Amino acid sequence: MTDITNKDALIFDLDGTLVNSKQPLDREMAKMLEQLIDIHRVTIISGGSWGQFEKQLIGEMSADSNFDNLFIFPVSGTAFYKHENGAWKKVYSDSVSDNDKKKITSVILEAEKTLGFVTPITYGEKIEDRGSQITYSALGQSAPIEVKKDWDPDRSKRENMVKLISPFLPGFNIGIGGMTSIDITRAGFDKGLGIQKISGVLGIPISRMIFIGDKLSPCGNDYPVLATGIESIEVSGPEETKKIIRELIQ
């Protein structure tokens, strides 16, 4: 295992890394993170919205956790929240224009029909406006894990969609996230830029940080971080992440 004990900042992905898709932290992970932010500066960057962080992460941790040591970068790093004076504060958020949101939605819906992804049963909205990102979830935002895990286990369905919609959305990054989703942001606004912003916000060079995520392969929404040169560890899921954290808090 890569030695991360001497790094000045630990950066984690959320879904698939700290939690299972759209699920809250389990009790063990919550307690481990509480211990970790007592001794390390921790950043979490995800394609999810701030609301997802509140629901999946912050709401599952003790209210007296050292949140001043936790930095949150929702929507692939296009927004930033920090904790100070006992409350969470939005520092910035870069939004996609309304016209571009309409265009992205139209392209996605047409591609969905072309590829036969329209399903008789969906669980919530398929297209979520996260401000600086549009996220398409093939089965709906609230689909149960047991349903999602069988829909596109090898990512081939979403890879086909990415190939189909990319020519119609120049100027945008399109990445595969979660189990059934595709994330779309303006070109340059991806987790790679997020890593650079984290470096600037914390005043820590990228060489002194490490990223842990579950989708570092091409087309994965963690893949852009590799272009920054940050040292990275790919994990298979939360249980493997726990092994990494356990080494740090012992």
> What are the boundaries of each domain within the chain?
9-94+189-249, 98-186
What would the pLDDT profile of 180-222 be if each residue is shown by its tens digit?
999 998 887 788 989 999 999 899 999 999 999 998 988 788 9
pLDDT value at residue 78: 83
Asked if the model's pLDDT at residue 1 lies above 60, the reply is no
**187 versus 106: which is more confidently predicted?**
106
Q: Distance between CA atoms of 133 and 238, rounded to whole angstroms?
A: 25
Number of alpha helices (DSSP H) and beta strands (DSSP E) in the chain: 7, 11
Give pLDDT, residue 41: 93
Structure tokens of 144? 């149960």
Q: What is the mean pLDDT of the chain?
A: 92
Q: Which residues contact 159 (CB under 8 A, 6 or more apart)?
A: 176, 219
Asked if the model's pLDDT at residue 69 lies above 70, the reply is yes
Once rounded to an integer, what is the mean pLDDT over residues 160-171? Answer: 96
Taking the C-alpha atoms of residue 227 and residue 147, their distance in angstroms, rounded to an integer, is 33
pLDDT at residue number 234: 96
Q: What is the pLDDT of residue 21?
A: 83
Task: Specify the 3-state DSSP secondary structure of 184.
Answer: strand
Task: Give the residues across from 135 on adjacent strands.
Answer: 128, 183
Tell whether the model's pLDDT for residue 231 goes beyond 60. yes
What local confidence, expressed as pLDDT, does residue 216 receive?
Answer: 92
pLDDT tens digits along 111-152:
999 999 988 899 999 999 988 889 999 999 999 999 999 999
What pLDDT is recorded for position 218?
A: 87
**Superfamily for the 9-94+189-249 domain:** HAD superfamily/HAD-like (3.40.50.1000)
What kind of fold does domain 98-186 have according to CATH?
3.30.1240
Where is 34: in which H helix or E strand?
helix 27-39
Tokens of residue 150, six digits: 């069988």
In the prediction, which pLDDT does 96 show? 86
